[in-house]
Amino acid sequence: MRQVAVIGIGQTRVEENWDLSLKELAGEAVIHAMNDAGVSGFDSIFIGNMMSGSANHQQHLGPLIADWVGMRFSEAYRTEAACSSGASAFRTALMAVASNEVDVAVAVGVEKMTDSPGSEITAELATAADREWEGDHGVSFVALNALIMQRYMFEYGWEHHHFAQFSINAHANAESNPNARFRKAITQQVFEKSTMIADPINVMDSSPMGDGAAAVVLVPLDKIHQNNNKKFVKIIASAVATDTISIHNRLDPLWLKAAESAAMKAYDQAAILPQEIDLFELHDAFTIMAALSLEANGFAERGQGPRLALDGDIKLTGRIPISTMGGLKARGHPVGATGMYQIVEVVQQLRGDSGGCQVKDAHIGMTQNIGGSGSNIISHIFSI
Amino acid sequence: MRQVAVIGIGQTRVEENWDLSLKELAGEAVIHAMNDAGVSGFDSIFIGNMMSGSANHQQHLGPLIADWVGMRFSEAYRTEAACSSGASAFRTALMAVASNEVDVAVAVGVEKMTDSPGSEITAELATAADREWEGDHGVSFVALNALIMQRYMFEYGWEHHHFAQFSINAHANAESNPNARFRKAITQQVFEKSTMIADPINVMDSSPMGDGAAAVVLVPLDKIHQNNNKKFVKIIASAVATDTISIHNRLDPLWLKAAESAAMKAYDQAAILPQEIDLFELHDAFTIMAALSLEANGFAERGQGPRLALDGDIKLTGRIPISTMGGLKARGHPVGATGMYQIVEVVQQLRGDSGGCQVKDAHIGMTQNIGGSGSNIISHIFSI
């Protein structure tokens, strides 16, 4: 396999973006990424998106977006893996370049969720669960996570307020990220008093939906020198694993086995230990997912994820900084775009371009995008 | 790029399959393909599907289907390119193997359309058009093709009955295909008298929807010898191009420029001339698309596609056999599965396993899957 690098990034601010259509959002991120990379075109573009068919009555995003950014006739199609759709587009672009099929590929994640009523979006998000075993019973996605969190607290003796630091850290970091949806710090009290959604998950445990797009440009590593591009970041691992969608169908619903599997493969590919990761953009759709992801990736013992938050290990200056630009919680979670935001943010960090969010001396960064409640895991490791 | 081959195929009969769910349909095709290949597992599975989110209230097909066929923890995600979703899954699997990321990949196309009312499916199919420029005006997919066909007949002097042989040929071939939806020959009179849908397109110009799944197993060519697999078929070209979705936005709405582009790239990769193709599984969603595809691929002069049908050149014994197992018209068009049916059928032909549909001495076969009215083209060439 030929080595591949990211030479350009672009993103829009996550918000309720009523004045931009889905293709305009995606186009803005793609054009930013192309300008940043200094390329005027590409061979292929892969679109990560979950719900445009229902939320925007528009499928077939490939040619729509390729045409919109002036690249009619290029290769273009969509990839979908629920909330890990973004990283699936990135992985497809990586394989396209690594296979020698193409030389310049773009991956873009885009989602436009705020044009539809919240009830419709909640129903659409539930299509990421198993329809026959979960969806048909009316279980929403937050309810599924609440079941996991209830059991986790019971098994390991945690109380709800112990999860506050995941949210507090994310919001504190988002203050310095101009692309974050909520650029406002919160306190322990705000966390504890926020509105309950599905016990024990309250608003401050949960990531907000939003509209947004993030994109990168990928090229073969051995073609970079001749372009004299100084800002490239290498992809040193790309690993994927799935699990059964239904939580009740897992042997251990409190352990993200697919996340562990993808992480171990990724460490192996990169030939590094977890301790060498300088920052970790995990999938904090809910605080419980942040805890489980830290454990599955080898940063905490089983059942001890919240300890890292309580001890300050997840802060920018901590042992394993997470949600460094706000995470899903405060940057926002436009579902199909999230995996691409994670990657764009790690590239920003490794370049040293993260301003007030900057992790000092960041050389190796990891992303982990999760689809479903741990049923589709796409992990990447990057280095400068 | 390492060379890749197809070592196993599987398919279900296209029909109204009310007793099998979407995952069961996909699973049946995948298990058949794995058995045919003699493999007990795979690293990755890519799912081509257009409309499960709305038609089946189920997205996130990757882990759902991987788990169902006993391959929990493998890589799994969906690709979508409207009616070319099937071939996009195949291309993703090809790139996954070619890039050395994985050694055994499965591509499956699946669509389950008959659980929903026809009006819903018509609306869902229209999401493959440009929502803002076409869909919002209420134009259905058949209406868009009718506009093209009207203009084509006007420009080149054809009458509707001149298109009959595309449909007659497809139905004649389907008689010998046990997996075809309509295994019944039709006459010129049946074609001419069939119900009008959108003038000039009538029922016999149009491919029927249906439920179905088709799958293949891909491995690196250089690993086949050690497995002693005798039935492999080589992929000698994989080429893709898109065009603007809106027909009114094309310089020449009567020429499939993206199809021409993908075909020329494919011939170049395979280092062959169009005349060397022994059979061509094209995308006869409507008879007009068959004519335009033959022209764009270099088998007929501009405006002369129907001539090949009238002269019998498209028959099994003709110069360029098409729709050899019934095509979209008579095998059926479960949209996200169609691209995979085309590939499975070409592999059958090259192996000499097509029974009464067999093209004699078939050594090189081509597929062309079309999304939208010519806006997403995925072409492959195979050889033994």
pLDDT tens digits, B78-132: 999 999 999 999 999 999 999 999 999 999 999 999 998 888 899 999 999 999 9
A106: which strand partners?
A45, A217
d(CA B222, CA B194): 51
**Residue range B320-327: mean pLDDT, rounded:** 98
The string of DSSP codes covering B117-137 is -HHHHHHHHGGGS-TTTTGGG
Cross-chain Cβ contact A132/B82 below 8 Å = no
The half-sphere exposure of B300 on its side-chain side, counting CA atoms within 13 A, is 22
Indicate if A333 belongs to the active site. yes
Residue B332 · residue B292 · CB < 8 Å: no
Residue A229 scores a pLDDT above 70: no
> pLDDT tens digits, residue range B330-350?
999 999 999 999 999 999 999
Q: Which residues of chain B are within 8 Å of residue A76 when distances are taken between CB atoms?
A: 81, 242, 376
ipTM score of complex:
0.97
Amino acid at B205: D
Q: Do B101 and A1 touch (CB under 8 A)?
A: yes
Mean pLDDT of A186-195: 98
> What is the total residue count of chain A?
384
Task: Identify the band that residue A36 occupies on the pLDDT scale cut at 50, 70 and 90.
Answer: very high
Predicted pLDDT at B1: 58
Q: Which of A222, A283, A218 is nearest to A10 (CA)?
A: A218
**Residue type at B178?**
P
Q: Is B148 on the interface with A (CB under 8 A)?
A: no
A112 Cβ contact partners less than 8 Å away, ≥ 6 residues apart: A17, A21, A22, A25, A52, A55, A56, A211, A334
pLDDT of B295 higher than 80 = yes
- Which pLDDT value is given to residue B2? 83
| pLDDT value, residue B241 | 98
Supply the pLDDT for residue A119: 86
When pLDDT is averaged across residues A269-285 and rounded to a whole number, the result is: 98
Q: What is the mean pLDDT of residues A252-281?
A: 98
Q: Which of B59, B84, B129 sits opposite A82 (nearest CB)?
A: B59
Give me the torsion for CA of A50, A232, A219, A236, rounded to 10°.
-70
Predicted confidence (pLDDT) per residue in A93-147, tens digit: 999 999 999 999 999 999 999 998 888 899 999 999 999 999 999 899 999 999 9
Q: What digits encode the pLDDT tens for the residues B301-312?
A: 999 999 999 999
Q: What confidence tier does A374 reach under pLDDT thresholds 50, 70, 90?
A: very high
Q: Tell whether the model's pLDDT for residue B176 goes beyond 70.
A: yes
A99 CB neighbours in chain B (<8 A) are 1, 94-96, 98-100
Listed residue (B330, B329, B325) closest to B342, CA to CA: B325
pLDDT interval class at B229 (50, 70, 90): low
Using CB atoms, pick whichever of B62, B99, B132 lies closest to residue A1. B99
Domains of chain B: 4-114+209-233 (3.40.47.10), 119-205+236-383 (3.40.47.10)
Confidence at residue A227, expressed as pLDDT on a 0 to 100 scale: 58
Is the Cβ of B188 closer than 8 Å to some Cβ of chain A? no
pLDDT at residue B308, as a whole number: 98
Q: Helices (H), strands (E): how many in chain A?
A: 14, 11
Query: Of B308, B244, B311, B235, which Cα lies nearest the Cα of B3?
Result: B235
Segment B217-225 mean pLDDT:
91
Mean pLDDT of chain B: 96
| Residues ≥6 apart with Cβ < 8 Å to A258 | A241, A242, A243, A374, A375, A376, A377, B73
In DSSP terms, which residues pair with A81 in a beta bridge? A83
